[in-house]
Chain A
Amino acid sequence: MTDKRPQIIIIVIFLVGFVLLAKLFSIQVLDDSFTKKAERNAVQRIVDHPYRGLIYDRNGKLLVYNNPIFDLMVVPKEFALEDTTRFLEIFKIEKEELEERYEAARKYSWVKPSILKKQISTTDFAKIQDYLIDYPGLFITTRSVRSYPEPIGSHALGYIGEISGRALERDTTDYYKQGDYVGLSGMERYYESLLRGVKGAKYKMVNVRGIDKGPFKDGIYDTASVEGLNITSTLDMDLQKYGEMLMQGKTGSVVAIEPKTGEILSMISAPFYNPNDLTGADFGKNYQALNSLPTKPLFNRPIMAMYPPGSIFKIVQSLIGLQEGILFPETTFACNRSLVACHNHPSPVNLFGAIRNSCNPYYHQAFRRMINQEVSSNTYKDTEIGLTAWKEKVEKFGLGSALGMDMSGELGGSIPSSQYYDKVYGEGRWKYSTIYSLSIGQGELQVTPLQMANLAAIFANKGYYYTPHLIKAVNGDPDEIPAKFRERHNVGVDAKHFDLIQDAMAEAIYGTAARAVIDDIVLAGKTGTAQNPHGEDHSVFIAFAPKDDPKIAIAVYVENAGWGGRAAASTASLMIEKYLRGEVLREGLQEYVLAGDFIY
């Protein structure tokens, strides 16, 4: 009975060997997940964060640079606390925060480092440095935050911050990792890919305690980080600083453009904030505080606030009329105030007089001629055809849709279409009398301060513009800027029609904006008043100067400051002087603006 048993035992021995080898074959050869796990275990990828590119102003002055900060890291496996109270004291960390961070670190990895405390200032770092040796499993890593020599240009420059979960999901290139910093607004966001540089990586081997065991495979997989590109912006630091001083305590926008290039010289959104507040350890706290302020300092007014263009739109109307042969310099209309209210001025007026006096009834009548050209015998149909043709011409002035500047979140304003009126009033149920307020820039028209400044540039250029932009050069090379900013846009109005307009604008300020007059600089401007149903009207002014060789075109909005001739015109004039002369001689006017009491 037992004579077969030795053979059975031998079979069992072979079976055991076979089972072991089969299982080994499956985990060693067939399943390669262990190789990856082993690398994750023992090979640590140390990301070498590149230096983010710097941002300079148009004259080479530094606007944004990098400042080193320190993160406290923890390796849970090695970390042990004996005296918690003392630890909390030294490292200035709350007990709950410590527990929360440690738990998160433990969940992430037992042996790999995680952040325990973020962004320790240089002074705090100096204090804790000596204590680090008492705490195994703790060490410091260095990275840098953005800093600003002058606390200006916050909206234009933008800020950086930790990448959001949603942005990580959208990142198909898989470049970003949790905790990476990324431009979140302004130039920082738009030029993220230029500024960020290229991350490098070092692969080093670590043992179970996270201790460095030298480079992985002698560093053949290591890559060096590449510094971000430096950007020269079109901003003029001095002008920006001066403008922000003038806008201090006010609500509104300033956009100044070099007409010949579309370069934005200054861009102010008031109220503004100190860009240094949105860097470093206090980012979250300060952001919350700014975000909850009723004055909305984070709101980027020049590109996001929309107002009716008001009287300034009359210039656009005049130009379209001239180009279409509907208006001529000698075309006269009576200032018929039964049609629409007007100021006190001689009547009738020709086109020059209409611009100079900002005559509302003139444009009421002129606009009717543009809209109702009797193409159709049906008044309703005729109005619809007229409006559609007119809208197309207005859009050429960069209105009705975003200009496409180098900043995300730009809004386009609106020019109502016939479809819009069909929806509101019903098809064939609206005519000129329904839409006449468009003639004087009221009604459903909406433009942003940026578009308004661009209009000033168009008037200065006599019929063309370059898309306004904030980038002047990349690493000193002006050819590296996006090609779309070197594309000239013609508005479809011949240059000859602009002479009358420019003359009228130069003349107009003597009447409506006497404060804006500068003795030795010829300035062409136009006031506007954006009606505000919620309170005092907004003061609006656009201008360019010098009239014969425009170097600066500007739009200024001061909210709730009443008539355009006061707050906005004064601010614009001072900034023009500052830019062209380099200094401001009219101290009285400057004080008037700084006092900010424009209503009475």
Chain B
Amino acid sequence: MRQDIQVNRIDWVTILIYFALVFIGWFNIYAAVYDGQDAKSIFDLSINSGIQLVWIGTSVVLIILIMAADYRLFENLAIPLYLLFLVLLILTPFVGKEVNGQVLSIGVGSFRIQPGEFAKFATALALAKFMERPTFDLSKVKYQIRAFAILMVPVVLILLQPDTGTAMVYFSLLIMFYREGFPSKYYLLGIGMIAIVLLSLGIENNLYLAVAIGAICLFLILLGKRSWQKTIVFSLIGLGLIGITYSIDFVVSKLPSHQQNRIMVLFNPDIDPLGVGWNVTQSKIAIGSGGMFGKGYLQGTQTKFDFVPEQHTDFIFCTLGEEFGWFGSLVVISLFVALLVRIVIMAERQKNRFSRIYGYSVLSILMFHFMVNIAMTIGLFPVVGIPLPFLSYGGSSLWSFTVLLFIFIKMDASRASQLGRLS
């Protein structure tokens, strides 16, 4: 096999950040499960930090395999992988193991994988493959529909499991769509609608909001050149938004009660601090009590004494916040920001559209996880069960993020060998 990796083309900065995050995660997992009265070694396989080290070790094997593979492999495998994971997702509800009413994983014995996790990079590859064609233009409705179709199939299948958190992650690919030319007006409209939904949930009296929307629309109609078309468009938008305002409470009331509660807790964590609000309340207490420099490694009380649920997986950030304080948060968030920015820079230097699209998909998925996970631990976002990339405990999670990222590092390292197909 032709050796196409040039070591000096590998983006070592990204790899360095990757390992920094992975080992910060590993130390924090140990802190999360550490019991002062029954202290075990960080390597002890009977505790999660020991197992995580096994996951880290196997991830390194995966990295080596990916780096050794032919870069064209991923391009060729894009569609077959996508189809494979669709089949697995279809099979999951029938052959998978049920936990808390959700069927997320399939496998034999203790070796289990969550197809939903891995389907992310398969979907990213499939989209990249589909969207790289020169004729593809996201500003055209025809292509918009096709791209969304590829995106929506796994989403629907995951929603059937049901796993809302993972399904939401797929929508993060809208960031990649944005880079690839999906019209701005949809984003503005989307952001506007989210803002109105949040406002109407947060504000008791919807009338104020309706009046405000009406006033803004009227202002926009009167501003600048006036025309019939413009008046009609803005009037319709205004009426639509007011309609959303009034229907949102109804829609929320139709959601399953646990999701309803997660949303309401966001606006008022005190409504039920022992029940629904427990996670967020305890998580905020843990992080908030960390102060500027934290309580010191292994000195946390909130995470250590099980006040925070899921502290080694989805709520791993609590351990960090409590034991290393704001300074620790600053380090980890800076590492993530650096990684994300680095990925953008790498994506922009790709010579073909396939790599660039895939790079932005990686960015989208990592950014969404990073943003939503930390935001939920500090009460800025409803509690959704998604892990913090590279830090959270768990094999499926670490492997899928590793594969996701390193396929792109591999593409980037091989960019010199690729044909310039950029359009």
- CA of A29 to CA of B304 in the docked complex: distance in angstroms? 21
B305, B334, B337: most-surrounded residue (chain A CB, <10 A):
B305
Question: Contacts of A209 on B, CB cut-off 8 Å?
Answer: 306
Are B307 and A208 within 8 A (Cβ)? Answer: yes
Chain B residue at minimal CB-CB distance from A76: B274
Cα distance A5–B326 when bound, in Å? 31
Proximity string of chain B (61-95) to chain A, C-beta cutoff 8 Å, 1 when within and 0 when not: 00000000000000000000000000000000000
Binary per-residue interface labels of chain A (1-40) against chain B in the complex, 1 for a CB within 8 Å, 0 otherwise: 1100110011001101101110111011101111101110
Pair A38/B289 contact, Cβ less than 8 Å: yes
| Alpha-carbon distance between A10 and B347 when the two chains are bound, in angstroms | 12
Q: Quick check: A20 and B374 within 8 Å, CB to CB?
A: yes
Instruction: Known A1-B181, A29-B291, A38-B286; judge A205-B333 contact (CB<8 A).
Output: no
Contact between A214 and B302 (Cβ–Cβ < 8 Å)? no
- Tell me, rounded to whole Å, the shortest Cβ–Cβ distance linking B368 to chain A: 10
Is there a chain A Cβ closer than 8 Å to B386's Cβ? no
Residues of B with C-beta under 8 A to A24: 287, 321, 326, 329, 333, 378
The answer to whether A110 has its CB under 8 Å from any CB of chain B is: yes
Q: Is A206 among interface residues, defined by CB-CB distance under 8 A?
A: yes
Are B344 and A9 in contact, with the CB atoms below 8 A?
A: yes
A98-141 CB mask vs B (1 if < 8 Å, else 0) is 00000000000010000000000000000000000000000000
Considering the complex, give the chain B residue whose CB is closest to the CB of A213: B305
> Which B residues lie within 8 Å of A19 (CB)?
380
Q: Is B238 an interface residue (CB 8 A)?
A: no
Q: Is A207 an interface residue (CB 8 A)?
A: yes
- Interface residue SS majority, chain B: helix
- How many chain B residues sit at the interface, stated as a range, is 35 or more
Q: How far is the CB of B373 from chain A (nearest CB, A)?
A: 10
Cβ of B341 within 8 Å of any chain A Cβ, yes or no, is yes
Q: Is B394 an interface residue (CB 8 A)?
A: no
User: What is the bound-complex CA distance between A39 and B289, given in angstroms?
Assistant: 9
Give the residue of B301, B340, B375 whose beta carbon is less than 8 angstroms from that of A43: B301
B4 within 8 A of partner (CB): no
Asked whether B116 is an interface residue with its Cβ less than 8 Å from the other chain, the reply is: no
Contact with A along B365-380 (1 / 0, CB 8 A): 0010011001100101
- Whether B344 pairs with A20 at a CB distance below 8 angstroms is no
Is B284 an interface residue when CB atoms closer than 8 A count as contact? yes
The residues of A that contact B36 with a CB separation of less than 8 Å are: 213-214
Q: Is the CB of A417 closer than 8 A to any CB of chain B?
A: no
B residues in contact with A6, CB < 8 Å = 179, 344, 347-348
Query: In the complex, what residues of A have CB within 8 A of residue B180's CB?
Result: 2
* Complex: A484 Cα to B289 Cα, angstroms: 53
Question: Which residues of chain B have C-beta atoms less than 8 A from A205's C-beta?
Answer: 301, 305
Instruction: Determine the chain A residues whose CB is within 8 A of the CB of B326 once the complex forms.
Output: 21, 24-25, 28-29
Nearest Cβ distance between residue A33 and chain B, in whole angstroms?
7
A28 CB to nearest chain B CB (Å): 4
Complex interface: chain B residues within 8 A of A2 (CB): 179-181
Q: In the complex, A25→B325 CA distance in Å?
A: 9
Q: Say whether A401 faces chain B, with CB atoms less than 8 Å apart.
A: no
Q: How far is the CA of A28 from the CA of B292 in the complex (A)?
A: 6
Q: Is A41 an interface residue (CB 8 A)?
A: yes
Residue B178 at the chain A interface, CB threshold 8 Å: yes
Docked complex Cα distance between A209 and B301 (Å): 13
Given contact pairs A9-B175, A20-B371, A34-B285, A28 touches B306 in the complex (Cβ within 8 A) = no
Determine if B287 and A208 form an interchain contact, defined as CB atoms under 8 angstroms apart. no
Residues of A within 8 A of B (CB): 1-2, 5-6, 9-10, 13-14, 16-17, 19-21, 23-25, 27-29, 31-35, 37-39, 41-43, 110, 205-209, 213-214
Closest 8 CB pairs of A and B: A34-B288, A207-B305, A38-B289, A42-B301, A17-B337, A27-B288, A208-B306, A28-B326
Known: A6-B344, A27-B288. 17 other contacts (CB 8 A): A6-B347, A6-B348, A9-B179, A10-B344, A13-B340, A13-B367, A16-B367, A21-B333, A24-B333, A29-B325, A34-B284, A34-B289, A37-B289, A39-B289, A41-B307, A43-B301, A207-B307
